[in-house]
Structure 1
Amino acid sequence: MGKKFSLAAASGLLSLIASPAWAHHPMGGATPSTFMEGFLSGIGHPIIGVDHLAFIIAVGLAAAFTTQRLLSPLAFVLATVAGCLLIVSGVALPFAEIVITGSVALVGGLVLSGRKVPSAAYLAIFAVAGLFHGWAYGAAIVGAETTPLLAYLAGFGLTQYGIALAAGWVVLKLWQAKGPEAVKPRLAGAVAAGIGAAFLIENIEGMLFAV
C-alpha cells in the first residue's frame, strides 16, 4: 500500500513537471486587492509556470539527500520572498530569465547525476536562484496594497515549501525501494534539467535574435 501510494504521488509530481503552464493566473492577471485574492494568487502562482514548478520540485529532490532536508527548501522559499520584495521596491535584477531557467537546468542536472553535493553548496544555489525566482513572482503583485501583498507572500511561500517537502518525501521513499522504482528520482531530475535547458535555450535565442 505504501509503495503504491509513493509511486502514485511520484507520478503526480512528474506529470506536474511535464505539463504545460496553466493558461491563466488565478486572478486573471489582475492585481489582488483583498487578503483572500492575494492568498489565492500566492497559492496558484508557483504552479502556473512550468520552469518555476520544475525548480521547486528539483529543490525538494536535491534537499532530500542533504543533512538539511528542511532548511534547504526553506532557504529557497525565504529567498523568493526577498526577491519578490525587491521587485515590489522597484529593484531590477539583470538577466532574470537566464538565471531562472539556468538554475532549473543546473539543479535538475545535479539530481540526475546522483553525485553527492555539500549542503552548503545547495543552500547557496537555492538562495541565489530564489532571489531571481521570487523577483519574477513579484511582478504579479506590484502595485498591491500591504494586506494582499502579505497574503500573497504567505500563500506562495507555503505552497513552495509544501511542494518541495512533498517531493523530498516521495524521492526518499523511492530511493529506498528496490528495482526500477529506485531510478525514478534521477529520472525526475532529468525531466527538470530538460525543462530548464529548453527554456534557457529559448531565452538565449530570444536575446541573440532580438531586434
Structure 2
Amino acid sequence: MRNLHRKALAFAAPAVLLALSAGPALAHHGMHGDQPSTPAQGFAAGLAHPVLGLDHFAILIGVGLLAARFQRGLSLPFVFIIAMAAGCGLHFAKVDLPLLEIWVALSVFAVGLTAALRPTAPLPLTLGLFGISGLLHGYALAETMVGAQTGAVWAYLAGLVLIQGFVATAVLVAARWLAARHAVFTRLVGGLVAAAGAAFVVMALSA
C-alpha cells in the first residue's frame, strides 16, 4: 500500500507543478493572441485549443478514462462533445455563466476524482459529469471566437469536435489496454487528473 501511495504522489506532483506554472494564455488559446479570421485559421485553432489548454486536455483524459469502463463506452465521449457544442452555443448567445474558471477547474477535479476512486462509476453519474463538464468547457472554449466571422466559427467548432473526439477515444483505448495488464495505473492517471484539477481550482481562486 505504501508503494501505491508513493506511485500516486509521483504521478500527482508533476501535474500540480505543471498546472500551477501554466498561465491563462494556455487555457484560452488563439492564433498567437489574435482571433482567427478565416476558416483555415478557425479550424487550426479548434484543433490546438483543447490540446494547448491544460484544463481542457486534462478533462479529455478523464473522459476517456471513465468511458473506458463501460462495454459500449466508445459512444460516451460524444455526450461530452455534444454538451461542449451546447456550451459554445450558450456563449455565442451571450448567456452569462459567472465564476466560469472555478467551475471549469472543479469539473476537471470531479471527473479525475471519479476516475481515481470509482472503478465502476454508475452510468447516470458518468453521463451527468460528461454533460455538465462538457457544457462548461464548451462555454470557455467559445471565448476565443466571440464576434468572429461565421465561417471561422464553424471551422473552429469542427476542429474542436475532431480533436476532442480523437483524444478522448485514444485515451479510452489506451486505458482499456492498461487496465487489462495493470488496472491500478488507470486509477493513478485519474488521480493525476484530479490533482491537476485541484491546482486549477487554486489558480482560479487566486486570480
Q: Does TM, scored on the shorter chain, surpass 0.5?
A: yes
Aligned position for 2:177: 173
- The 8 Å contact of residues 64 and 171 in structure 1, kept in 2 or not, is answered as yes
**Counterpart pick for 2:57 among 50, 53, 74:** 53
Pick which of 197-206 and 19-28 moved more: 19-28
1:182, 1:124 → 2: CA distance?
24
Q: What is the CA distance between 1:94 and its match in structure 2?
A: 2.1
Aligned position for 1:189: 190
2:63, 2:97 → 1: CA distance?
22
Q: Which amino acid aligns with 1:191?
A: L
Cα deviation 1:112-161 (Å, max 9, x = unaligned): 11432111221111111111101110010111111110000000111011
- The 8 Å contact of residues 31 and 143 in structure 1, kept in 2 or not, is answered as no
Q: Which runs of 5+ in 2 are unaligned?
A: 1-13
Matches of residues 1-211 of structure 1 in structure 2 within 5 Å?
21=22, 25=29, 27-177=31-181, 181-206=182-207
Over the matched positions of the two proteins, sequence identity in percent amounts to 38
Q: What is the CA distance between 1:19 and its match in structure 2?
A: 5.1
- Across the aligned residues of Structure 1 and Structure 2, the Cα RMSD in angstroms comes to 2.1
1:38, 1:85 → 2: CA distance?
16
Distance change in 2, residues 1:205/1:32 (3 Å): closer
Q: What is the CA distance between 1:51 and its match in structure 2?
A: 1.3
Q: What is the CA distance between 1:95 and its match in structure 2?
A: 2.1
Distance change in 2, residues 1:19/1:161 (3 Å): farther
Q: Which runs of 5+ in 1 are unaligned?
A: 1-14, 207-211
Q: What is the CA distance between 1:16 and its match in structure 2?
A: 9.4
SS in 1 for 2:69: coil
Q: Which amino acid aligns with 2:188?
A: L
Q: Which amino acid aligns with 1:82?
A: A
Q: What is the CA distance between 1:172 and its match in structure 2?
A: 0.3
Q: Which amino acid aligns with 1:197?
A: A
Cα deviation 1:36-86 (Å, max 9, x = unaligned): 001000000001111111011100001110244122210101111111121
Q: Which amino acid aligns with 2:42?
A: G
Aligned position for 2:9: none
- The 8 Å contact of residues 30 and 144 in structure 2, kept in 1 or not, is answered as no
Aligned residues: 189
